[in-house]
Amino acid sequence: MRGRKDEIRSEQRRRTLSEAERTSQSAALTDVLSTIAAIARADAVSMFVGKDHEPDTASLFERLAPRARWFPTVTGRTALGWTEVREWSELTPGRFGLLEPAAPTHAQMPDSVQVVLVPGLAFDRYGGRLGWGRGFYDRALAAVPSALRIGVCLRPGLVATVLPMDAHDRPMHAVVTPDGVVFGENTLRGSQ
């Protein structure tokens, strides 16, 4: 299965968007996410800072205030720490060139996080997710099994094929693109 995953990762890395396309799709994605009842009801949401083909989440960060917004910091070869961020300016360039909190306040995602917005290289229409291959998010999601996992991506991140999944891979409860909810709409409407 590793070979197939590596092949898809390679294909996805070659997909590019212009900065104008990324900006436009990120704005549309923010609009969609802002209408999801499960997010509106949440007191605490885990977010990420997108890079390259991933969504720009700065405007979503503002829209989610005053909810607690938690961000990851790379703390080891395959580990993430977590910090509640109140102002976007608190984020600084870290490992892999991503904006992140300078130092995590929690070794794992807090139990208070009710919704996790999950980045990825690819998502399918069945909740499958393919990350960068280091398992950062699969391990982080295992620590908060009751949190609602929402995969978020721009249009090139949604693939037509069913993604290969290993036993340790955490499927998404929902997948959202700039065009709307493509998987898990009933889950997003229901109570968590």
For residue 65, give both structure tokens: 């205030």
The pLDDT assigned to 2 comes to 66
Percent of the chain with pLDDT over 90: 74
The answer to whether residue 1 scores a pLDDT higher than 80 is no
The answer to whether residue 135 scores a pLDDT higher than 90 is no
pLDDT 10s digits, 159-168: 999 999 998 8
pLDDT bracket for residue 67 (50, 70, 90): very high
Distance CA 57, CA 107 (A): 23
Q: What is the mean pLDDT of residues 73-87?
A: 92
Distance CA 79, CA 67 (A): 25
The pLDDT assigned to 49 comes to 96
For residue 163, give both structure tokens: 């993604």
As to burial, measured by CB atoms within 10 angstroms (0-12 exposed, 13-18 middle, 19+ buried), residue 43 is exposed
The conformation of residue 164, written as its DSSP 8-state character, comes to: P
The pLDDT assigned to 6 comes to 86
Q: Give one word for 133, left, alpha or beta, with left for phi > 0 and alpha for psi -120 to 50.
A: left
- The larger pLDDT score, comparing residue 85 to residue 52, is at 85
- pTM, entire model: 0.93
Q: What is the mean pLDDT of residues 47-53?
A: 90
In this predicted structure, which of 101-110, 119-128, 129-138 has the lowest mean pLDDT?
Answer: 129-138
In this predicted structure, which of 23-32, 69-78, 171-180 has the lowest mean pLDDT?
Answer: 69-78
- The larger pLDDT score, comparing residue 103 to residue 2, is at 103
